[in-house]
Structure 1
Amino acid sequence: MNYILNPWPWYVSGPLIAIVMAFLLYFGKTFGMSSNLRTMCTIMGADKFSNFFKFNWKDESWNLTVVAGAIIGGFIATHYLSNDSVTDLNPTTITELQHMGFENAGADLVPQEMYNMEAITSTKGVLLLIIGGLLVGFGTRYAGGCTSGHAITGLSSLQKPSLIAVIGFFIGGLIMTNFILPLIF
């Protein structure tokens, strides 16, 4: 029997994130997805090619539970906690997305025009994945962490560099959404 439930509201999930952050701060640990990528690359032998990957990955292996939790949590959320409702988008946003070629804006979790197998295996899709991946990788390395690390761990521990990075992430997102994305589609 498959029960469809509403996603957890902010007043449940927010305090849970705060409790996890309190534990991480207490134990002197930081949270972020990009550090997991570094750990996985080191485990797979990247330390033979770059000094950046030369570190004791076993000290950071605990953080790989974040990857497992994201995968398991995503599966549980989409299969058991989703209520199959359409995303409530602003009518202006829907019109703008339709002008870019997105026919069913908000109907799915991600737009099928970008994320179906045909789209991601096309020349344009492969180029977008490669260029986007390189830019995200460079940005993460340059900023000293990813959006989740800076926005959750950095801001909760009142780090000024994280505040600057998060402001930069938002500015970059606005530029991408309003200027670059319309050129691509």
Structure 2
Amino acid sequence: MFDSIPWISLLGGMLLGVSALLLMLVNGKTAGISGVVNGLITPTKGNVQWRLLFVGGMVLGGALAMTQFEIAAPDFAQIPFAALVVGGLLVGFGTRVANGCTSGHGICGIGRLSKRSILATLVFMLTAAITVYLRLH
């Protein structure tokens, strides 16, 4: 049943939504990854454990999904190191300018009907579409 990409994508999206909802209901926290990781880099008292568990769960969940669904890991060796660095810096800059990342705005913010998050997500998607177009043409 789960042999096709649409089913796996639907399942992944549902799991992301449920995870974000549970984090909000149990901890009162938003599942914006940039904010979660930022809180690990500049920790405050009593605010680290849930972040470590959250990030650890993402890593373990990804590893489990790769083994159970035979998903291939990306081959970063094919991408020039400079492109990876520039891409990472641009994502970091965009995250700072947008005051959040795709998970914070796209999953949690849109779920709360935040106008700022809807606009940020539209900008993320438009930028991705333009980038793909430029890379392919």
The reply to whether TM is greater than 0.5 is yes
| Equivalent in the alignment of 1:67 | 55
Unaligned runs of 5+ in 1: 44-55, 85-107
- Is residue 79 from structure 1 mapped to residue 67 from structure 2 by the alignment? yes
| Equivalent in the alignment of 1:41 | 41
Alignment map for 1:28-177 (pairs within 5 Å): 28-42=28-42, 56=44, 58-59=46-47, 61-82=49-70, 110=74, 112=75, 115-116=76-77, 119-120=78-79, 125-177=80-132
Q: Is the 8 A contact 2:40 2:51 kept in 1?
A: no
* Per-residue CA distance 1:108-148 (angstroms, 9 max, x = gap): 554x4xx22xx45xxxx221122111111110111111111
C-alpha separation in 1, matches of 2:100 and 2:48: 15
Q: Quick one: which amino acid aligns to residue 80 of structure 1?
A: Q
Q: Is the 8 A contact 1:21 1:156 kept in 2?
A: no
Q: Is the 8 A contact 2:32 2:103 kept in 1?
A: yes
Larger Rg: 1
Q: Is the 8 A contact 1:33 1:66 kept in 2?
A: no
Alignment map for 1:17-28 (pairs within 5 Å): 17-26=16-25, 27-28=27-28
C-alpha separation in 2, matches of 1:134 and 1:165: 18
C-alpha separation in 1, matches of 2:82 and 2:13: 36
Q: Is the 8 A contact 2:66 2:73 kept in 1?
A: no
Q: Quick one: which amino acid aligns to residue 19 of structure 1?
A: V
Query: What is the root-mean-square deviation in Å for CA atoms of aligned residues?
Result: 2.8
Q: Could you tell me how far 1:14 is from its partner in structure 2?
A: 4.5
For these two proteins, the number of residue pairs brought into alignment is 133
Structure 1 76/171 Cα, relative in aligned 2: closer, same or farther at 3 Å? same
C-alpha separation in 2, matches of 1:155 and 1:71: 24
TM-score (norm 2): 0.78
TM-score (norm 1): 0.60
Q: Could you tell me how far 1:6 is from its partner in structure 2?
A: 4.7
Q: Is the 8 A contact 2:24 2:30 kept in 1?
A: yes
Unaligned runs of 5+ in 2: none
